[in-house]
Structure 1
Amino acid sequence: MNETMTKIIDAITAGNNAVNGVVWGTFGIALLFIAGIVMTVVNKGFQFAHIGHWFKKTIGAIFKDKKITAHTEKENKAISQFQSLCTALAATIGTGNIVGVASAIVLGGPGSIFWMWIMAIFGMMTNYSENVLGIFFRRKGEKGEWRGGAMYYLKDGLGGYKGLKWLGVTLAILFSIFCLLASFGIGNMSQVNSIAGNMTSAFNVPSWVTGIALVILSSIVILGGLKRVASVTEKLVPFMAVLYIIGALIVICVHGSSIPAAFGSIFKGAFCLKSATGGVVGYTLQLAITWGFKRGAFSNEAGLGSSVMVHSSSNVKEPVRQGMWGIFEVFADTIIVCTLTALVILTSGLVDLETGHMVTENVKSALVGEAFGTVFGKVGPMFIAVAILLFAYSTVLGWSHYGTTAWCYLFGEKTAVIYKIVFIVMIFFGCTMSLDLAWDLSDTFNGLMMIPNLIGVLALCPLVAKITKNYVDRRLHGLDVKPMLSAFEDVQAEEEKDLDSEE
């Protein structure tokens, strides 16, 4: 590895503060991985055993079941299942799918992509479990909209265990505080800073101009509430995803002869199947696993308890139905989009596929831009600039709802407009200031959300297993048993009346 790359790694390593190291070090990675395995086991490998069913009820249903995409009436504050997916994907499909994947390959080698897949496979069931609990413990807010998220199943779920009410309430408050702070960092300033930087480098647009434009656009959408955010994301997410996937597939197909070697490099790098001393192999394997798990977790956010806040706003009746959308969310984000980014980089000749070492000095989005440039020429970096614009802006919209939910939980719904205004103002500052520290702080708070959330998910895993079994018995085995739809009797009774229209 050349001297420049070494300096880059040293700078990134030095930038991680102590708290971030604890959260995303061995403990954080282990907790995420263990949670994914536990939820897979207690739910009997749902993502494998019923893969055909959840595909049919998610992406397959979009083209067959109009109820999935149908908008609710104006007075109904709930959003459709497809809108909830798009809003969740808007927040998860972001710069992590471009910058995150490139960073993983630079710092952990091609093998990190394999471990990103592993994290995603088990993360599917973590995200599933979060969404099941989110629907089961959600309540309607003052204006009639659904409110759900980790704070609700921590307070009413974990807090429902004998003698643990204080713990549930405390963790719910901590989660909300961490979510609120993360929304300004990873969900706002870090994203718009990436937009501004790429617009300047690709199109020579001054950062302050980008900032003003984003503030105006965001004001129109965010101040309109969740239904307006969802209305925008259901159009933006499919467009940006299809656009990026087509562009990536063109690059990969042009370099099609390198695809087998690229996959070979991923698998060899994942287990360090190359000649080296034991110490080097151990360190290289550690880097591959660490960066694969880190970037996988940040890309799809499974285990952080973030996307459940918008999934809980869906008009769905069955907790498991929304849980399956959570599985698909992780699949689309990591298995599809992140894998395509990785193959674009690996097949473009920018990585020595035998050694896993970088051939170029470019990193992050510039690395992906260079890879696209091997096919599209000067248009390549411009294409990535536009992709980051769409990806990052959609992330801002999604996280605006997460932050609003956390704010409302802490301070009440009547003050939500205060948060939204502050959030919009921070967009301008995010475009015009250096954010190295903000990246570290946002990583930390984003990671800190994980701890109370996963405590709740693991503590409530028997309940998730019971709800899943109830669904499988009724829907797949045809047994006549009472559905488990809500932890609250009034909501259970109301949802049961309309359950038949769900299928």
Structure 2
Amino acid sequence: MNLNAIVDTINEYLWGYILIFLLVGTGLYYSIRLRFPQVRQIRRGFKQTFGGIFKKDVEADKDGMSSFQALATAIAAQVGTGNLAGVATAIASGGPGAIFWMWISAFFGMATIFAEAVLAQVYTDRVDGEITGGPAYYISKGLKNKGLAIFFAIAIIIALGFVGNMVQSNSMAVAINNAFNIPKVVVGIIVAVLAALILVGGMTRIANFTELVVPFMALIYIVGALIIIIKNASYIGPAFKMIFQGAFSTKAIGGGVLGVTVKEAVRFGISRGLFSNEAGMGSTPHAHAVAKVKHPSEQGLVAMVGVIFDTMIICTLTSLIILTTNAHTTGTTGAEMTQIAFSNGLGKYGAPFIAISLFFFAFSTIIGWYFFGEANIKYLFGKGGVRYYRWIVFGFIVIGSFLEVQLVWDIADMFNGIMVFPNLIALFALSSVVAKSLEDYESKL
């Protein structure tokens, strides 16, 4: 068996079975233990998120960033190619019913991401004077297990900081090359330069960038999506019917995905949903750790809003565009299916729109994933290692723009899955810390 086959087999079991049960199980456990905070406290979560959005009394510096800036940085990483290509893959492989199970994964994932944000807040640390945090820190300080923390740090640096950013760069380069015929390597160099202008400014510039760009890119995409959906309003009802019928169908269904059953709908819906919103994967806690809040549970509530935005809004809009334009019947998958859907909905403006959207989604993900990797570089090597990490990331961005080796992408998926395990061990072992935090917060309301 060659390396490709080994990695494929590992990913098949990781993302097809093991992680689905572990991640959904973690969300179910926390939902029950915390008495469904995603229902009881979601109104307060929105108030906490948007209540002070226009206040400038909290500035990003070495002591952290505002709660909204932390959420924007987390969403920058969450909303990426998975919201465009990932949704299409879920529909192609699991049928329209996969979208329902994507919603289910998001619902339980909200409880998981609440726990991650709380732990990240409780176990923050200072490295060379700068506040930082994330799973490596709460594994090391909370579990007292430095070996497991080091394992997580190495896995996430490889999965997101290095190879993951190659994937994002490649997605941008391909889309822009198709829409505007700009050479891929030129796109990669431009992206690396733009990223450098932001990243050399440290936490302050990253926070200011995500705070400005994330709401803008979201608004542009939502408006474009709604134009298509409203134009095809008569198909909205049938689209939801396909989603709910496909979610519970015991027989193979027809359409663009012949032979799809509820088993595939569950598998691909949940796996793509979790991959998109990253709940339980240990990535977004790095952003939530540095939020300047009065109580750890406040940022936990804000983190739940991020899952709603990523999966319930952006992914749902993408799925409705695909279903109302019948792009799911074309026999395509991934980004190609999404591009066809936008071309059907916006005509000649479809390809440029999806290219521009993908640019913002992927570029913001590069910034977010870089930030997550940097927190772990600080954990392993201190602040001195950041300058070397930064230049390696820039190199991967350029290389990724023109080099697509499927094995490299598959290895990224594998490390993405592997890094979940130490994070989930910490989430279960430190669940009492999360429960006490929420109990203390609610007692003070």
Per-residue deviation at 1:14? 7.0
Amino acid at match of 1:228: R
Aligned residue for 2:148? Answer: 171
Q: 1:17 Cα shift?
A: 1.7
Which of 338, 341, 345 lines up with 1:375 in the alignment? 345
Amino acid in structure 1 at the alignment position of 2:425: I
Q: What SS does the aligned partner of 1:189 have?
A: helix
2: CA distance, partners of 1:151 / 1:247 = 39
Instruction: Tell me what 2:131 maps to.
Output: 146
Once residues 320 and 170 of structure 2 are traced to their aligned partners in structure 1, the CA distance between those partners, rounded to angstroms, is 26
2:69 to 76, 80, 83: 83
CA distance in 1, matches of 2:352, 2:251: 37
Give the structure-2-normalised TM-score: 0.95
* Maintained 8 Å contact 1:369/1:382: no
1:222 deviates by 1.2
Provide the aligned length of Structure 1 versus Structure 2.
Answer: 440
**Alignment match, 2:361:** 391
Deviations 1:82-111 (A, max 9, x none): 111111111110000000001100111101
**1:245 alignment partner in structure 2:** 222
CA distance in 2 between partners of 1:142 and 1:98 (Å): 39
Counterpart CA distance in 1 for 2:101 and 2:19 is 15
1:246-270: CA deviation from partner (whole Å, max 9, x where unpaired): 0001101111111111111001111
Q: Is the 8 A contact 1:116 1:334 kept in 2?
A: yes
- Could you say if the C-alpha distance between residues 275 and 177 of structure 1 is closer, same or farther in structure 2, counting changes exceeding 3 Å? closer
Question: Which of 79, 96, 114 matches 1:93?
Answer: 79
Q: Which amino acid aligns with 2:43?
A: G
Aligned match of 1:3: none
Kindly report which structure 2 residues correspond to 1:88-487, keeping only aligned pairs within 5 A, or say none.
Answer: 88-143=74-129, 145-159=130-144, 168-185=145-162, 187-272=164-249, 284-351=261-328, 359-475=329-445
Q: Please give the alpha-carbon distance, in whole angstroms, between the structure 2 residues aligned to 1:360 and 1:132.
A: 44
1:30 to 21, 38, 43: 21
The separation in 1 between residues aligned to 2:8 and 2:409, in whole angstroms, is 11
226-235 or 192-201: bigger deviation: 226-235
User: Aligned partners of 2:424, 2:319: CA distance in 1, in Å?
Assistant: 29
Instruction: Indicate if the aligned counterparts of 1:81 and 1:315 stay in contact, CA closer than 8 A.
Output: yes
Contact 2:179 2:351 (8 Å CA) reproduced: yes
RMSD: 2.0
Compared with structure 1, are the counterparts of its residues 411 and 376 closer, same or farther at alpha carbon in structure 2 (3 Å cutoff)? same
AA matched with 1:195: M
Q: Aligned partners of 2:189, 2:426: CA distance in 1, in Å?
A: 40
The gaps in structure 1 that reach 5 residues or longer are 1-12, 160-167, 352-358, 476-503
Q: 4+ residue stretches of structure 1 with deviation over 4 A?
A: 13-16, 273-276, 280-283
Tell me how far 1:198 sits from its aligned partner.
Answer: 0.7
Residue pairs, 1:7-86, within 5 angstroms: 17-62=8-53, 66=55, 70-72=57-59, 76-86=62-72
* Cα distance in 2 for residues equivalent to 1:304 and 1:22: 16
How far apart, CA to CA, are the structure 2 residues paired with 1:194 and 1:41?
A: 39
For 2:60 and 2:412, how far apart are their aligned partners in 1? Answer: 37
User: 8 Å contact 1:39–1:125 — kept in the other structure?
Assistant: yes
Structure 2 CA distance for partners of 1:420 and 1:457, relative to 1, 3 Å: same
Residues 138 and 426 in structure 2, CA contact (< 8 A), matched pair in contact too: yes
Q: SS of the counterpart of 2:182?
A: coil
Is residue 369–residue 384 contact of structure 1 (8 Å, CA) maintained in 2?
A: yes
User: How far apart are the structure 2 equivalents of 1:81 and 1:185?
Assistant: 27
Give the drift of 1:62. 2.6
- The share of aligned pairs that are identical, in percent, is 41
User: Quick one: structure 1 residues 73 and 382, their matched pair in 2 at CA, closer, same or farther if it must change by over 3 Å?
Assistant: closer
Q: Is the 8 A contact 1:185 1:439 kept in 2?
A: no
Q: Deviations over 1:388-444 (max 9, x none)?
A: 001000000001111111111111211211101111111100111123222211111
The CA deviation at 1:272 is 1.0
Closer/same/farther in 2, CA of residues 275 and 219 from structure 1, 3 Å limit: closer
The amino acid that maps onto 1:72 is E
Q: Which residue of 2 aligns with 1:162?
A: none
1:281 offset after TM fit, Å?
A: 11
User: Contact conserved, 1:185 with 1:441, CA < 8 A, in 2?
Assistant: no
